[in-house]
């Protein structure tokens, strides 16, 4: 009679199912405790458990060590994976959750392939909370603390990189050959990564020359010309740009020179 390979997929099936539930919850309009309960296992246990199953077959390590490694590997995947991904694309919650789910599912299938060749009489693994000792608890807390610190660094770097990549530009330059009065060209470009509402004010001294309300889409530019007749005298012209009610840029051009 031919010996069949053992159908050991109960624990890994549960891991994949929980990961998919977390994925759906992260993308659904759900907030509060429900989202937290669904996402915490994905952040702290599921990817690492799947990875330990790839590295260690049932019976090769104890349940307490497997739990410690599950937490450590999960936090490591969240921290290091998030750091790598944010170098390529903008890191947000859906992207992060997709990364963790992908690692979990791929590792779970790899672990199942390893188990297919094991004897059928080997003890089946059971996914359950183990009773761990004090040393294991300290190790898990240390892993969570280190991983949280790494995640904070990765998130701060992602936010800083995104902030540096997004900006608004303002220019005020002479629009023709030097003469008095001289026309000026003023313009704005939106590189904020999203549509923004601008207010642009051109003034000379305390006198407002022109004021514009500018709703601009991402990567959209706008420009206008200030006729020389609207700029009497030789006092400097100041252009001030506000975005969403906050001061963004201020430039000054001295007529007859550079500003």
CB crowding 216-230: b at 16 or more within 10 Å, else e: beeeeeeeeebebeb
How far is Cα 106 from Cα 50, in angstroms, rounded to an integer?
A: 8
Q: Which of 161, 121, 111, 132 is nearest to 11 (CA)?
A: 111
CB-CB neighbours of 67 under 10 Å: 23
167-253 is classed CATH 3.30.70.141:
no
pLDDT of residue 30: 67
How far is Cα 167 from Cα 95, in angstroms, rounded to an integer?
A: 23
pLDDT of residue 57: 83
pLDDT of residue 219: 87
pLDDT in tens, the chain (259 residues): 334 344 456 888 889 998 998 888 888 876 677 777 778 888 888 999 999 998 888 878 888 788 888 888 888 888 888 777 777 777 677 888 888 999 999 999 998 888 887 665 555 555 454 555 565 556 556 655 655 555 555 555 555 555 556 788 898 888 765 555 668 889 999 988 788 899 999 998 888 889 999 999 988 999 998 887 778 777 889 999 998 878 888 898 887 644 4
How far is Cα 43 from Cα 58, in angstroms, rounded to an integer?
A: 23
Which residues of the chain are in CATH 2.60.40.2550 domains?
167-253
pLDDT of residue 87: 76
CA distances from 71 to 12, 35, 46, 142 (A): 16, 19, 8, 10
Name the pTM for this structure.
0.49
């Amino acid at each position: 009679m031919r010996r069949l390979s053992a159908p050991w997929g109960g624990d890994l099936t549960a891991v994949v199912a929980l990961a998919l539930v977390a994925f759906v919850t992260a993308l659904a309009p759900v907030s509060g405790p429900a989202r937290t309960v669904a996402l915490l296992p994905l952040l702290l246990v599921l990817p690492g458990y799947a990875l330990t199953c790839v590295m260690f077959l049932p019976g090769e390590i104890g349940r307490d060590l497997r739990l410690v490694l599950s937490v450590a590997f999960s936090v490591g995947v969240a921290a290091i994976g998030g750091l790598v991904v944010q170098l390529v694309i903008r890191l947000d919650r859906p992207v992060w959750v997709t990364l963790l789910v992908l690692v979990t599912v791929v590792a779970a299938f790899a672990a199942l392939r390893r188990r297919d060749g094991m004897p059928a009489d080997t003890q089946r693994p059971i996914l359950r909370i183990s009773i761990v000792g004090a040393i294991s608890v300290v190790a898990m807390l240390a892993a969570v603390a280190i991983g949280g610190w790494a995640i904070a660094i990765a998130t701060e770097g992602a936010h800083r990189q995104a902030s540096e990549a997004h900006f608004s530009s303002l220019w005020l330059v002479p629009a023709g050959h030097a003469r008095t009065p001289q026309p000026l060209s003023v313009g704005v470009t939106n590189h904020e990564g999203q549509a923004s509402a601008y207010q642009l004010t051109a003034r000379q001294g305390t006198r407002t020359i022109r004021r514009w309300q500018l709703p601009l889409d991402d990567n959209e530019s706008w420009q206008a010309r200030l006729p020389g007749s609207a700029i009497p005298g030789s006092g400097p012209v100041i252009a001030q740009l506000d975005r969403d009610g906050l001061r963004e840029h201020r430039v000054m051009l001295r007529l007859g020179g550079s500003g």
